[in-house]
Structure 1
Amino acid sequence: MSKIRRRQRPADYIPRGRKLALESLEPRRLLAIDFDLLKDINPTERPGTSFTIEIAEVGSTAFFVATPPQYGLELWKSDGTDAGTVLVKDIRAGSPGSFTFTSPIGSSVSNWLTNVGGTLFFVANDGGTGPELWKSDGTAAGTIRIKDIFPGLDGSNARYLTNVGGMLYFSANDGASGHELWKSDGTEAGTVRVKDVRAGANGSSIPSLTDVGGTVYFRANDGVSGEELWKSDGTEAGTVRVKDIRAGATGSALFSLANVGGTLYFNANDGVSGAELWKSDGTEAGTVRVKDIRAGSSGSSPRDLANVEGMLYFSASDGVVGSGLWKSDGTEAGTVLVKGVNVSFSSLSTNVAGTLYFIANDGASGFELWKSDGTEAGTVRVKDIRAGAVGSAPSLLTNVGGTLYFIANDGVSGSEVWKSDGTEAGTVLLKDIRPGASSPVPSLLTNVAGTLYFKASDIASAYELWKSDGTGPGTVLVKENANRPGNSNPRYLTNVEGTLYFNAAYELWKSDGTEAGTVLVKDIRVGTGGSSPLYLTNAGGMLYFVATDGATGRELWKSDGTEAGTVLVKDIVVGPGDSSPYYLTAVGGILHFRVNDGVSGYELWKSDGTEAGTILVKDIRAGSLDSSPRHLTNVGGTLYFSANDGASGGELWKSDGTDAGTVRVKDIRAGANASGPISLTNVGGTLYFNAFDGVAGLELWKSDGTEAGTVLVKDIRAGSGSSTFRHLTSVEGVLYFSTNDGVGGYELWKSDGTEAGTVLVKDIRAGSVGSSPRYLTNVGGVLYFNADDGVGGGELWKSDGTEVGTVRVKDIRVGGSGSYPASLANIGGTLYFSAYDGVNGVELWKSDGTEAGTQLVYDFTEGDGSSSPGWFAEVGGRLVVIALTPTYGIEPWVADLAPPLAGDYDVDGDVDGADFLLWQRQFGMPATPAGSGADGDANGSVDGGDLTVWESHFGEPAMVAAPALTASESIDAPDWAALDSIYAAGDFTTLFTEARSLRPQRRWRLAR
């Protein structure tokens, strides 16, 4: 065996006893990379805004959810004064905040602020437990999570919070029973599931909770009778189905539950008469249809049920007069048409001092404000606010101290707050908060102790909390926030042939990683609106995206990076209508996507970048109905997707880009019911996905593109229950995913495509809760993810596919709270992610898979503020990160991706004794990926060559960056003479052993 060559040592080298004295350093953080602002794309200051999204009354205090930039969406309160409008508690540090604002498709989501006996209950996410039930007495100390109903990151997603006789009832998911009925008295012990109505993990749903005399009524699905009427007195035994209105599994589809004088009224369908008005006294016998308003099976569809002085009012259609206002005293004879007028189906009826106010359209004036005293003659339009057929479209009718407030648009002042005393003269604009016809719509009208609170935007302050005493001068902004930096909010970072493209300030930008090279590609929609480029996709070296220029609607565009070369590919729906391309996917340089041309519905199209070459591939569902292709995935040059041909339901399809070559792969669930393939993932040329065959539940399938080769891989959750797969990820030809087998909760699994090879990798959190792995990311053949072992909270983990090799990388936030790594990204073979260490807010971290090499990269905000970095990308050898800072808002930042210092195995910026220790610990172990850890020569294993690398660079760049040990600590240099004999022998199997005691002088000795 040849001797390993090593460099010559200087003549004055002393072989033993040399000490590397380390002096103590001033306390400071050594960050791994230095970032600079790439470009302040939008330097214009914005009006300060709290962006209020929900308001609730507790006594004389208005609680609301708002989002100043330094906090994110959090709970606030106000007594109506500037000084008294304060943050209650920063539940989740950083810009995301603890409250949910939007769902993935952008619709508002309630946080269920609910007053029960003077205590505010709500749903919030502290970043460690997911959305759970909280309460507040208005103080930070008194704002606490009541119970972690579903331990882990997912949370119980409590919803439908309802005060029933001083007890809070709600629907929640504990991870085992699905969404079921719960109740809470505000204590952890008193927060319990009332009953598991539908045994198993599917849950009974439990919406429409309604209080009738201290009994809660709701609709639920027990898995046998469909959705029917249930009630509960708060005990398991007292939680029963009231009546099976529609026999069988279909259910009566009841909704619009309303308490009128102690009787429950609702809309239900018995399968014979259609949707009609029903009532219940809580007994089966007393649950009856009030009247068959529209004879036959069509039903009158009663809606907008309102209680006015013990009389029920509602809208319905009898099939003769059409839509009209009705009332009922609970008898068939007393259920009568008040007036035939088109009533708005928007839950907008409001009782003010015994008069019903509602929205209706008489066919001439559009939707306007109406009122009724219960007689035909007394049912009249209050005022034609916007003359003509358009109507003022009133909304949010709110009673405050006997005065009706609402939103309306008179065509001159835009949408503003109005008030009415029930007369035409007394129905007036309260205040023109934002002059002009296109003002933003005020919302959240709420009565708080006789004062109207609402959200509105004037020219200066954007959306803020306002209040009114009913006069123009008394309608004022409650608290004005200071101006804050403008955001360009870059997103959808996409590298095309070495140029980084992204959406910033709602237009298309590009960057080469320098400030000068970061420029607007084209102002597609001139003016302030922006073209909002979406779905940026590289196909054959050309950038494709979806945008609107204001004239053509949302259509397909392309760009070669120049202004002239950034053009509309085709106006598929000619004019301002949207064709809305979606699921943009490149196959062999050709772009495939789903689009609606206004004729064939949503179907599969393709484009070669020319107008003539942008064509329908196949009208899978002939006619105007959609086949709705979705989840487009390229596997080896074949496009796979799910689609519905109108006969087989949503099934797996494939396409070679031709009409003839676009075919259904397999009817997995025979008949018209859909198997609903989702999560399509390419693993080494095989397609994996989730589907439901009607027998095995939603389980793991694979396909080679043939009917015979499209098979169930494994029924992980045996029977009809579904495993519900998440985060399918390919690593070295093996599929990894998170799933719930019904026993261990959501844990990490893998599959090689065989039933036997589809196995649990590790039960990270023993028991039924599960560790909820997420953000699965492949970096150099190692899988990284976020998981919660029940002890350390959500932290960074890695796996090589074995149980022993699935370990927590580092406890970033020591203790049980968890740092909850997110936005995991592989940049040049290094893992970057955001995490919260409990000190520095949510900031940028990186990891090489070792504890020492998992470090805070950069603290953009300094201190406990959070920059919440996301959208990581590499361009020109530089790392681009989108981050929020107090000075610049959300803008792109950049840092050089310099190679790590040779021999700096713990990546702390210097080559010292600590790196030698790491080499010694890892000696003889494989390095995955090669070059990680102490594999200094990147040959895939830690061996003597890596010691040579360390020795060659020892002391670089300077000892000022050495670990901050005390002055009394020192490290012995190795005995090079003794090592030479081992080098000569070529035997590294028993090289070094660390001394077990950690004394002030730390030493290493040769193993005997």
Structure 2
Amino acid sequence: MQWKSLFQKPFHSHQRLQETPLQLESLEKRQLLAADGLVIDINAGAPSSNPDAIAELNGTAFFSASDGSFGFELWMSDGTSAGTQLVKDIRPGSQNSDVDLLTNVNGTLFFKANDGSNGAELWKTDGTSAGTELVKNIRPGSSGSNSLSMVNFNGTLFFHANDGCYGYELWKSDGTSSGTELVTDIIPGITGSDPRYLTNVNGTLFFGADDPTNGEELWKSDGTSAGTMLVSDINPGTADAYPLGLTNFNGTLFFRANDGSLGRELWKSDGTSLGTVLVKDINPAGESIPVDLTEMNGTLFFAATDGSFGFELWKTDGTSAGTERITDIQPGPDSGVSGSGFDPGMVNVNGTLYFRGNDGSTGIELWQSDGTSAGTMLLDDINPGAGGSYPILLTNVNDTLFFRANDGINGTELFVLGEADVPFFVTGSDDGSGRVLVLDENGADQYFLFPYSQAFTGGVRVATGDLNGDGNTQIVTAAGPSGGPRIRVFDLETGSLSSGALIDFYAYDPNFTGGVFIAVADVNDDGFDDIITGADAGGGPHVKIFSGQDGSLINEFYAYAPTFTGGVRVAAGDVNNDGMAEVITAAGTGGGPHIRVFDGNNTIGFPLVGPATDFYAYDPNFTGGVFVASGDVDNDGFDDIITGAGETGGPHVRAFSSDDGSMLHDFYAYDPSFTGGVRVASFDYNDDGYDDIITGPGPVSGPAVRVFSGIDSSLLTSFFAGDSQIEFGIFVAGGMGTLPEVPFPTSAPFSSSFVSEDSDPPEDVNVESPTAKKSWVDDAEAFFQSAEEIDKLFSGLGIE
């Protein structure tokens, strides 16, 4: 699984391409979800969006957050950056509506909010802006009824409110103004009984309430005034028992209470006075203060202290003998579990218990347990070091864990725990075959596919990314020479054609057969990775950028003089640390080893100015072409530029710092006498925070994939992508993603893999539309003001 943050998906160095494979950073290779731990950075940068009150409606998470422009308002998320959005600005402008207490009742989400006119009142939503409305102004005027507790009780909302006449009492609502009414006035008059911690246990509503005779004690209701009554005066007389943490465990209410003698301990109740009893005096010398009561697999888990150890993880089967500590996470009297008496600090998701733990070295972080000591462990150090990420609001949304945390970079934002992402590699055959092979982190074949006809032997270039914003990785392919400029997109996990705006299209005139190079990255910060293409030999150095969100042509330009016919290779990376990917180009065969960087989001693809944005990667007289990738190999926040020499140049790999232009790495990936060249890609293969360098040889060589450390260029792993005797050469990509649970069969016949026999253009695709943006050659005067500047930019390329 991999961490995802949910707002404004920033382009991070861990979103690698191919000539740059995209990687969503895995907080564990191990187990966590999404780029740098966030789903999205709602309030971009260090300021926090402080998401609150997470709840599920129809499989989607709803919550309160502030993006810095609006106040705290109602948001929704499907767990992806693209699927995270504001539902409604209830209190227009920058002021807060303070959405809270989100409660799902039969497909309607009730909550408390303040629109600036009516005070904090009862609202509801169906998940749309138009369907988000005030239910009733219970307390007319601006004071608000200000509920502090809500629950779905047998299909009706029950809640705590103050209408200004009866004080805080028990109310109910069917979602209409007329159907919103007081249930009972427990303490007659304006004082109010303050009923809170409303909990449904098999058709009985339990809660804590305060009356002048008994103090704050345990009450119950069947939903009627006559059926609302005191359960037990646990702390006799007017003293308070303070029942808290009310939880349904196997049809019995469990909770924390103070009987006046033993302090705050674990209790249970069957709804009768005689059946309301202490479970166990866990801390005989003091009080155990149990919190975060959570059922999982027939056992009740909670945090408590027995006086000898700090707050640690406990469990009970409902008996005194069956109540025991599971493990001592932080040895000694210090607490290993950071409980929360109010916000959810522990949750069961698919039979795994997640909670806030602290082992004394990582700070308060997200932990998991299967209910045993050996199975209790740190899930990930989201905020590395001793600081802690302080995860809270742990919520099960459609069998997915959502929560709030602070990774130390993006502030307090929304996180989600998804499926296990692991390192993977994708290789595309060079001229001689049209096969794409997917391999796991050890180089074991997972499956292969033929993106185009099996008869096509012009080779396939590959990249990876998330083009449709669903949080899952896709494989992007481009046909090599002798094929049309066709781009196709496949799901990594299934090997089938993907969904989204960009699935199957021609990047250039369908009659162009020179081949296409590709890269994938989010150039415009819209939460969708985009496809960057470069025409190969014969097409001119023509670069295009297509939107992953809607398929439109974002930009196109010529990276070098339009008359140059050697083609252009492309990569992408955030070389200036602005949160968006820039387009990196390298001249093809016949030109000098010229590297340039462009602002892909600029309407004219303007060249970027920086320490490593216009330079020669090798001797200017070398004309074998250059392959290019990008990755943050020195972990400084700037994606660096990685180059591989083309044919006749030897397998020479270099990496240049985007921060200061210095050379970070300089080595030969294979025998220096090999003249087929070397292709490059980058991602953090070994999860050490440094992007590593992936290489594949050109022709004529076996498909030997090698991975070199971003720290010191040492060899981390190597393997053959398929038959070692096949000498076509390969293109490489990789990243983090979800592979098939069981590898597809990869021996003949090939029916288990995707095989395209379709040689016709896809329908309804017209990337050469007359309405497309003008190219570099159309607007040349807007780029360069003099022939002198052109000469300066293209000198050394061998182009007059």
Place the TM-score, normalised by the shorter chain, in its bin.
0.3 to 0.5
Normalising to structure 1: TM-score of the pair?
A: 0.35
Question: Which has the larger Rg?
Answer: 1
Q: Which is bigger in relative contact order (C-alpha 8 A, separation at least 6)? A: 2
Normalising to structure 2: TM-score of the pair?
A: 0.43
